[in-house]
Structure 1
Amino acid sequence: MPRIIVTEIENDEQRDLALDVWRAANVASRRPATEARLRRVREKLAAAELGLLAHYGSRPAGMLLAETYLVEGVPLPGYAHISMVFVDPAVWGSHVGTELVRDIQARDWEGLSAWTRTDNRRAQRLFERSGFTDTGNRSTLHDGDEIMQLAWARP
């Protein structure tokens, strides 16, 4: 079994690899990217407060982006929001997503937040296995899909 290595995204080459992972995951989930969405993800990668790239052996396999958690537009010190986690479908089940989440949990955050589609059981299992709980908060995306918020607090 190849080793999983997680590093911070620091340059354009790593951002391009993360974008490739994002694309592969979107194709597998049958949500192919529009040009507008692709541009937005590129912008998020360039502006990310924290970007992580996971390699499964030598293969780029996962990405995670996080930012300061905001409450009504005001930063909540010690808390971060995971805005994206994507794993290349070719390595689903290899714990790449788990390693990405463990990496961010090992940092100095008191708590983390994430949103995912209510029909995305794979993401829900990843977060639940990592100690996140359903907050009960729900919202609806522009495409009509319902999303749910999950949260983790340092024990």
Structure 2
Amino acid sequence: MGSDAADMAGTWLRSFRAALPTVHLAHGDGDVRDWFSSVVVPRYETWIAVAGGSVAGLLVLDGGELEQLYLDPSWWGRGLGDRLVARAKQQRPDGLGLWTFQVNGPAQRFYERHGFIAVERTDGLRNEEHEPDVRYVWRPQG
């Protein structure tokens, strides 16, 4: 596996566990690492922020979907997420959509602060974690 994919998977796993301690991971660590190396990096548009030789944050875009935005917990609250969401908007100036879990209040506040609007809430039966989620969209002003 490429080092970027391995580092991205490690950051994703640390962030997921710290931000969502009550959400059951649908896949084991090895499967997550394989998913990053065989699916995420080769198929999607990926951006990473590197600090001290490791991945501090990652952004994954799939068409008009902001698929993943995760920061190493040591980088929370330091402006890196703001920079990554700005990059996503720059790359997708016509708009973006995303899903986040309803239990993730900090993520919801983050996206709302960046102009995303909640448009749908579900019972979670359509996601692998079976966790209620919320759909957000961002459309440029104009």
TM-score (ref. length: structure 1): 0.74
Q: Secondary structure of 2:134's partner?
A: strand
The answer on whether the counterparts of 2:5 and 2:36 sit within 8 Å (CA) in structure 1 is: no
Give 2:122's aligned residue. 138
Equivalenced residue count is 134
Counterpart position of 2:66? 82
- Which position in structure 2 is the counterpart of 1:72? none
Higher helix share: 2
Note if 1:15 corresponds to 2:5.
yes
Query: Residues 66 and 81 of structure 1 are in contact (CA less than 8 Å); yes or no, is this contact kept in structure 2?
Result: yes
Gaps of 5+ in 1: 1-10, 69-79
TM-aligned CA deviation for residue 59 of structure 1: 4.9
Structure 1 position 39 matched with structure 2 position 43 = no
Q: C-alpha separation between the residues in 1 aligned to 2:123 and 2:35?
A: 20
Query: Does the aligned pair in 1 maintain the 2:121–2:132 contact within 8 Å?
Result: no
TM-score, normalized by length of structure 2?
A: 0.80
Q: Do the aligned residues in 2 keep the contact of 1:48 with 1:66 (CA within 8 Å)? A: no
1:57 Cα shift? 6.4
**1:116 — aligned with what?**
100
Q: Tell me if the contact between 1:48 and 1:65 (Cα under 8 Å) persists in the aligned partners.
A: no
Find the aligned partners of 1:102 and 1:58 in 2 and give their Cα distance. Answer: 23
Higher fraction of strand: 1
Alignment of 1:28-107 (within 5 A): 28=18, 29-30=20-21, 31=24, 34=28, 35-56=30-51, 59-68=54-63, 80-107=64-91
Alpha-carbon distance between aligned partners in 2 of 1:55 and 1:37, rounded to the nearest angstrom? 20
**Which amino acid is 2:128 matched to?**
H
Task: Give 3-state SS (helix, strand or coil) of 1:106's partner.
Answer: helix
